[in-house]
Each structure stands twice: as structure tokens, then as C-alpha cells.
Amino acid sequence: MGSSSGRNGLLLPRVAWDGLREQIRKEIAAREDALPVVSAYRWWARRPGRLFGAILDAAGPVRVADPFGGGGTIAVEAARRKLPAYVQDLYPWPIFGMATALTPVAPEKFAEAGRNLLSALEPLRKPYIRPDGRELTHILRVRLGRCPGCGKELALFPDPLVSLASRRAGETQAYYGCAACGEIWLGPQASAPQRCPTCRRLLQIRFARGRLRCPLCDYSDSASAFLEIPPRWRPVLAQEVGPGPRPRMILRPVDPMDPVDARPASEVFPELREPIPPGQETNRLRNAGFQTWGDLYTERQAAVLLEGLRALAEMESSVRDHLALALLGAAEMPAFLTRWERYHPKAIEAMAHHRYAHTLLAVETNLLSPTGRGTLPRRLRALQGAAEWIHRELGADFFARLLPDLSERVRLESGVYLALGSSVRMALKDGAVDLILTDPPYHDDVQYGELARLFHFWLRRYRELPDIDEEEEAVPNRARNGRKGYARILERCLLECRRVLQPGGRLVFTFRNRKLQAWQALCNALNRAGFRIHAIATLRTDELRDPTRKGSRSLRHDLILECMGPEAPAPARPYVYAGRSDEERALLAAGLAMAEALRKGQSERLPEIFHKWRRRLGLREKAWIQ
């Protein structure tokens, strides 16, 4: 549904939302083809480029700023339109990623340098090659534990169904594992076995709501009670590339010829014994028995990363940072943290779901395998595609300016400016931009700083990094600032947005969260910064049927808000474009409630006003947002 358009020069009414929905659906299905630069480095909760591109097109020739740059999508879309843009982030990893990805390099030169790097690392493929010459691409291991009730050793399969046998359409076979005896076997997917064919124990789902049930004595307790520290693992499945002109991946039980034994990297490389610092997210690793970053990798994986960094240090090349971005990106596949998607057999990056995995079924990726998700050859191909895209879309003479610090305030004239540091202070003069377009942290949905710690650990081995103050992150964190700290920092960031925004300029951003307290914090911050809501839209920005998020309750749509300062009186009813799904109507209720609360100067009454709008829109109580 939509209402009134084009009033008072608003941007959202100018967007052709119906057509944009279909464009975004196609982008979500093929992100790497639509915007190859997003494959250059890992960041979290990226919104589709088509969304921000459409808003920039509606805005016309403006100077734009993104105070929460992160994934770099807004920087790229502004650069495509040759709009002056200022992009800032608190953390070095995304700034390094943006600066590198947006720097044009000759695709041919990058391709040659990539081949040279792989050639230098070629000997490190040998530890994955069997005596008969077949190379393993992945090794799946189940974590071993001990029942506190009966004292027996268990193979802690999180579910009897370990993996489908292949990714072929219509695959009917699956591998099953027995926690009691540790055996694994192939059986029909449609009719799951009731008992283990080896020990005849009854098979049942044992891992639920963080608890495990022993199949031997029926003792039940938290999963952590069954864990042994340091962790012990048993290899159960291996994947290799089958022979033939059209190679296919073969997943099978391990056999004696498979080189599956591996030590944690921390036992071999002293430089990897840096302790994992405590934190809301990193405590998941520490509680699972991982004490240093090297504990997460096998000796073989770490050898590839460390030798690759040594090779880059000796390289005199204009593409060295691009190669480093690919190599350091491979660090997100640690052998004892990477997960396995059992219904669509493939390795899943350790932080792909915005959490550090505490997995009981881990998968080691051969980082030099020519095939497979997350490998260095695949990342080099992605960077090659990004380099070609940058040449085609931005031109060979484009460059992003990396500001040395935030001490000086610049005018925004042309090109893309990148700044590192907290956005409570931006290196921009007063009134320097016409549009703030951003994708801010969604309350406590993603702990960006703690997730980025792994990349910063490796990035420090490539280049010197400034001190990182996670206390300045606009994210609630039980181990640091809590909800009050989040609201305070968000308020300061929005006040800074007001300072750098021209009178009459726009603040446009996306937001979503299932917790009403997140909307309350946002509403309070907008109110104290003097912003009022003038337009609202909802749009699907995530895949609805992502097999790797099976059972997830996360929202798949975003609320898009257009705000102005007190110089523009808030309308009695903002412009609205929203779909009719329950999820979109819940987001709409939150947006309309914030608009009313801000207009009336009653931000503290947001919950009451929200429930009024929820009832008016016909939503059941506690649906989607509560």
C-alpha cells in the first residue's frame, strides 16, 4: 500500500517501490553477480545495493555521508553515481576492505599476481593429498565428550542426521551418526533409522535448547556439562573431488588412507597463541575450550595463512593489498569453528550467522583446494571479478581517499572519503552533506567488534593497526556498555549527523529488530537529536528461504525511515509504502508509532503508542515485535 507522493521534496515517495521489490529479489538470489565488490571481504547484515542505489537516484546530485560504513554498499553505490561521499567506520577491517576493494587495479596484473601466490603456496596442498593422489577438500569432525551421569565417552552429534550424501537435486541418501558408539553410515533420508545398525541403540534427537541427553543412561544436562577441555575431535566424513572431465564433490566416511589427523595450530606456531579476549560473543569460544586464536585452526590451515603473509611481505606489487584481502578473508574458515550445512552440503563460514559458532560438528576446509566454499583460489577469483567490475563501473582512475585521522574537518567535493573512528565525531565541516544514508547497527543483533576480532588478529600480522576502542561501538553488549551505553552512543552519532547535515537535509536509514526496547532506544536517540519521521517504507532485504538459517526467527524485511530536523514540521501522517505481510505490518506499526511519538514529543510513550498501532493494523499481540 502507498499514500501520497512527492510531497515536500521527500525521497522515499520518488522511489518506484513495486519494481524495486523484484530487482532486490534478483540481487538477493545472486549477490556476487549483482555487486561483486561485496564478496571482497566479510562484513555482516549488508543491505542490497539496489535499495540504496534507488534512494540515491531519487536524491539526485547530493553530497552523501554514511557514518556506519561497514559493508561498503553505500560507498560503492555513491561512487557509481559519481556522488561525493564520506564513509566512516569504527573498525579497521571494513575500512581496509573498502579502501582496497575500491582501488582499481589492472585485472590482468592481479590475475598474474594471484597465480604467483598460489604457486608459492602449492607445496602446502600436500598434507591434504592421499597416497593414491586424491585430494581432500573438507574433513568433518564430531566433538567427543563424556556423560557426567555414566562417565562414558560420547560422539556429540547435534542430530542423528549428519549430512545429505550430496548436493544433487533429489538426493535420497543421507549420512547418520550414533552418539553412543560414534559410528556413521549411509541410509535413506525419507525414512530415518530408529536404531544404530552397529550398537542397536535407539536414535533420537539429543541436542535441544542447549541441552544434551545421553543415549546410554538418559542423563540430561546442559551441553557444556558434556564437553571435555581441551576439545577432542573424531574425523567422520571426508569430501574429495571425484575424477572425470566434469569433477564432482564426493562426500564419504573417512578411511585409513585419508590424511585427517591434525594438531591445533597453537601447538605448532607460537605467534598464534594470543589469548582470545573475553566478551559477550568471544566467551562462547572460551567456554567451549578455545583459549587462543590458534586453537581454532589446524596446523595445515595456519601454515597456509602464515606462509601467504610471508610471501606478501616480500612482494613489491600494487596489488599486494588485494591479495592480502583474499588471504586474510580465508581466515574465516577455522577448522574447529566452521559449520556444515547438512541439508545443502557445504561449509559455512564461522561467523556467517552473526555469531561465533559453538559447533559440535566442525569442518576443516582445505584453504588451497581449487574448489569449495571459502578457499583462497575461490576468493582470488571473486577479487578478480570485483577488479573487473570496478574498472567497468568506476573507471581505472577512480580512487578512494583514506583520511589519516579525524582531527581536520574537510569539505566534501568529489570522490569517496574513508575515515576510521567513532562516528560521534566525523571529519566533516558543518553542513557538509545533503543526505545521511546509512545502515546502522540493529541494537544487539550483531556484535560487530567482537566478530571482527578474528580478522583484526590476522590483519595485525599484515600491517600495523591503531588501537581499537570497542567501548565506542553503538551496540548493546553485556560485557561492556549494556543498553544504556548503546542509546548514549547512538544519540551522540545522530547529533553529529545533525551537525554535518545541511538545514533541510535528509537522514535516511534502515532498521529492524524484534525487541521493542531496541525501537525505544532508537526513538529516544532520534528525539534528542531533533529528528522527526517524514516517510516510511518496508522492503524485503534478506532471502526468505535460506537453507543455512533453517528455523531462524530473524526478520527478513527492513523498515526504511526518512527523517528531517526541526526546521521541517513533522506531518500528521508520514508517507507510507508497505507490503501486507504480518512482518511488514509489524515493522510499519513500529515506524508509525515512532513517528507519532516524535511528533508529539512523547518518545517515552512509544510502547503504548506501538500497541495502539499494532491493534489498528490488525496484528495479534506479541507478533514479530515485543
Q: What percent of the chain has pLDDT over 90?
A: 76
Q: Which residues lie across from 227 on neighbouring strands?
A: 145
436 sits in which H/E element:
strand 433-438
Return the C-alpha torsion angle 280, 282, 284, 286, nearest 10. -130
Contact 398, 76 (CB under 8 A): no
pLDDT, position 504: 93
Q: What is the mean pLDDT of residues 361-389?
A: 93
pLDDT, position 542: 84
Dump pLDDT digits (tens) for 475-526. Answer: 888 877 656 678 889 999 999 999 999 999 999 999 999 999 999 999 999 9
pTM of the prediction? Answer: 0.94
Asked if the model's pLDDT at residue 350 lies above 70, the reply is yes
Q: What percent of the chain has pLDDT over 70?
A: 95
Asked if the model's pLDDT at residue 213 lies above 90, the reply is no
Tell me the C-alpha distance between 385 and 173, whole Å.
Answer: 36
Provide the pLDDT confidence category of residue 261 given band limits of 50, 70 and 90: very high
Asked if the model's pLDDT at residue 552 lies above 60, the reply is no
Contact 193, 211 (CB under 8 A): no
Q: What are the E-state strand segments in 242-295?
A: 249-253
pLDDT, position 609: 97
Cell of 592: 508509525
Of 529, 539, 540, 515, which Cα lies nearest the Cα of 610?
A: 515
Residue predicted with more confidence, 104 or 4: 104
* SS3 category, 538: strand
Asked if the model's pLDDT at residue 578 lies above 80, the reply is yes
pLDDT, position 566: 92
Q: What are the E-state strand segments in 73-172?
A: 85-89, 136-146, 153-155, 161-164
The CA-to-CA distance between both ends of the chain, in Å, stands at 24
* SS3 category, 544: coil
Asked if the bond preceding 36 is cis, omega within 30° of 0, the reply is: no
Q: Which residues lie across from 400 on neighbouring strands?
A: 416
Return the C-alpha torsion angle 165, 168, 169, 171, nearest 10. -20
pLDDT, position 544: 57
Distance from the Cα of residue 235 to its chain's centroid: 28
Asked if the model's pLDDT at residue 3 lies above 50, the reply is no
* SS3 category, 550: coil
The residues, ordered by sequence, that sit 6+ positions from 338 with a Cβ below 8 Å of its Cβ are 347, 348, 349, 350, 357, 359, 362, 363, 364, 365, 374
In the block, residue with C-alpha cell 566454499: 373
Tell me the C-alpha distance between 619 and 580, whole Å.
Answer: 11
Q: What is the mean pLDDT of residues 161-167?
A: 95
Asked if the model's pLDDT at residue 68 lies above 80, the reply is yes
**SS in 3 state form for 331-367?**
HHCCCCCCEEECCCCEEECCCCCCCCCCCCEEEEECC
Tell me the C-alpha distance between 472 and 489, whole Å.
Answer: 7
Q: What is the mean pLDDT of residues 590-606?
A: 97
- Per DSSP bridges, beta strands 173-177 and 184-188 are antiparallel
Asked if the model's pLDDT at residue 619 lies above 80, the reply is yes
DSSP one-letter string for 294-306: GGGSBHHHHHHHH
Dump pLDDT digits (tens) for 271-301. Answer: 999 999 999 999 999 999 999 999 999 999 9
In the block, residue with C-alpha cell 575450550: 289
Q: What is the mean pLDDT of residues 604-612?
A: 96
Tell me the C-alpha distance between 46 and 74, whole Å.
Answer: 10
Tell me the C-alpha distance between 341 and 547, whole Å.
Answer: 8
Mean pLDDT of the chain: 91
Lowest mean pLDDT among 204-218, 374-388, 398-412: 204-218
pLDDT, position 2: 44
483 sits in which H/E element:
helix 482-500
Asked if the bond preceding 230 is cis, omega within 30° of 0, the reply is: yes
Asked if the model's pLDDT at residue 602 lies above 80, the reply is yes
Provide the pLDDT confidence category of residue 403 given band limits of 50, 70 and 90: very high
Dump pLDDT digits (tens) for 28-43. Answer: 888 777 778 877 898 9
Distance from the Cα of residue 625 to its chain's centroid: 22
In the block, residue with C-alpha cell 547530493: 62
Tell me the C-alpha distance between 536 and 591, whole Å.
Answer: 7
pLDDT, position 260: 97
Tell me the C-alpha distance between 23 and 25, whole Å.
Answer: 5
Strand order in the sheet with 433-438: 2-3, 575-577, 532-540, 557-564, 501-511, 433-438, 64-66, 85-89, 416-420, 400-402
Cell of 171: 538426493
pLDDT, position 443: 77
- Per DSSP bridges, beta strands 532-540 and 501-511 are unpaired
Lowest mean pLDDT among 3-12, 171-180, 302-311: 3-12
Q: What is the mean pLDDT of residues 411-420?
A: 94
pLDDT, position 31: 75
Dump pLDDT digits (tens) for 323-342. Answer: 999 999 999 999 999 999 99
Crossing angle between the packed helical segments 299-313 and 107-121, to the nearest 10 degrees:
130
DSSP state of 570: P
- Per DSSP bridges, beta strands 136-146 and 153-155 are antiparallel
Cell of 546: 535460506
Q: What is the mean pLDDT of residues 372-378?
A: 92
Tell me the C-alpha distance between 141 and 336, whole Å.
Answer: 8
Provide the pLDDT confidence category of residue 7 given band limits of 50, 70 and 90: very low
In the block, residue with C-alpha cell 556423560: 147
469 sits in which H/E element:
none
pLDDT, position 8: 58
Of 438, 337, 459, 367, which Cα lies nearest the Cα of 52?
A: 438
Distance from the Cα of residue 511 to its chain's centroid: 16
pLDDT, position 483: 61
476 burial level (CB within 10 Å; 0-12, 13-18, 19+): buried
pLDDT, position 355: 87
In terms of DSSP H, where are the helices of 86-212? 92-101, 107-121
